[in-house]
Structure 1
Amino acid sequence: MTSPTTTDQRPEPPEGDDEPSDADLVDAVRSGDTGAYGTLYVRHARGARRLAGTLVRDRADADDLVAETFAKVLATLRAGRGPAHAFRPYLYTTLRHLRYDRLRAEQKVEFTDDLSRYEAGVPFADPTVAQLDRIFAAQAFARLPERWRAVLWHTAVQGESPAQVAGRLGLTPGGVAALAFRARERLRQIYLQQHVAPGDAPACRQVATRLAGYLRGRLARRARTSVDGHLATCAQCRAALDELSDLPAAG
């Protein structure tokens, strides 16, 4: 599966072009230029709609999600926060998190006269949540090196043993097992990291990039100590870590 973040990139104007860059427009918005945000909207709305279309089946809901995303990002910029340069990735991350927040809110409230499935203890799987998880998993898988994707495909998907795969990859069975372990771990970290929204402050943004590795216990001692110190004083980042801990891949 291909992510809209890679296929819908509209390059910023080349150097010397009269059209302002995203960074210039972001600065203008922070200075109170609403028209600059209109330019950003025109430049990135199509990509945002494509991404929303992969997360929401109903077109009206997708349009509403895009509108809410642009409104939230505008409010963030007006408050002096948000991205300095990478506007599109920030926009897409905000859109994904708004959708995820909606799904979690919808799961908490359900109006029904039939309580039998709750009385019987039958688990309920939301197909939309499952679809969103599949999208995140596919995007994480695509970001792995080709060799790592191959070993996961043969061992985890096809169910082949390390001995069966060894000849194809030019490794020993033990080497295949070790490579598969590293690939699975890296896949979990990428998947988890996709659920982390960039923080507002520079220190929060730096910690946000390390939360998946921190949760999985894969940070070097110095980096982990740095994250520990930040989490001790930042409620926002602690809340982000708590949300990340609820995901299946966190365990």
Structure 2
Amino acid sequence: MDAPHPKSSHAGHQRDLSDEELTREVRKPSGNQPAHWSFEELLARHWQPVVEYAELCTVSDQAAGILSSAAFTRLFVGALRWSGPMAVWRPELLVTVDRIAAEWADDPRRQASLHPALRGRDEPSVARPSMPENRRLVYQAFQRLPEPARCLLWHAEVEAEGLEVPATLLGLTPMTAAAQLESSRVRFRAACVAAHRDLAAYEACLRFSRLLDVSVQRGGTHLVPDLQRHVADCSHCRYAAEQLDHSGDRVGVLIAEAVLDRAARAYLDSRPARRRAREAPAVSGPYGSSSPRYGARPRPSHGSWPDTVDSAPPLSAIGMISSPTLFSSVPRRGSCAGR
């Protein structure tokens, strides 16, 4: 099978479609088989960051490729069943990598393929993804947002990509994407405040919620005595104060830590736009003006989370994921199979 992009005969048409439109193509009845070109385009758009994240969880390029392919396959099968993401594929794919890695940790045949930090059947809490207590508000707030808002925040804030990237994925103009990104930031912060109230541990948390919000927005350096005493005694509000601080680059860091947990920092450090900003701050701002380009990097030892290596979607992965036999037995919504 040819590489999906740009060699596919549908390549020109695919680039004009948003991720949501591609997902609708995946779900659209087309005889007995799905439209392979829509799978291929979604694979081409998201393979590189997903396999780089999988490399943080595994000990070899081969294992990372298998883990990445398994994540794509799981979401593609879900799409055929009318479940899973429509417009926000990237974080869903990364979370799916986490979930499958946790499953591998309980499988003696797969354990050796995982990064040492993720192994150990005797300690399941080490391997299984968990919700960090100090990121619960951010996680709840992010999940409450509509998919286009999550897509914008993930690609602009976490990946630090230029706005043309999420604009293309959403089928928007860069100008419209910029306006919607600002709106998404406002909605995200409001959702964090709402989550603080919804998850309040004590009645006092509700009383101080608005004051805490305003104090953090003003810098959080001079809290009124009553609020200061409450925050000192209440971990819920103490964690909330940190999560309501959206200054500087914190939005992307907070979201990544809420969604990816332990591997968040390593993933953030591996993002090309962020790396370029660190290496040439006077030339490149926090949001790169072009699509990311990846340079080959050797796989380091496994004493710490590894960095990234260059990897394009291999033909074997494309063939595995979009193989007719793989999806031929998957019942689509509305079919009689599986009822």
User: Does TM-score exceed 0.5, indicating one fold?
Assistant: no
Higher helix share: 1
Structure number with higher relative contact order (C-alpha < 8 Å, ≥ 6 residues apart):
2
Q: TM-score range by the shorter chain?
A: 0.3 to 0.5
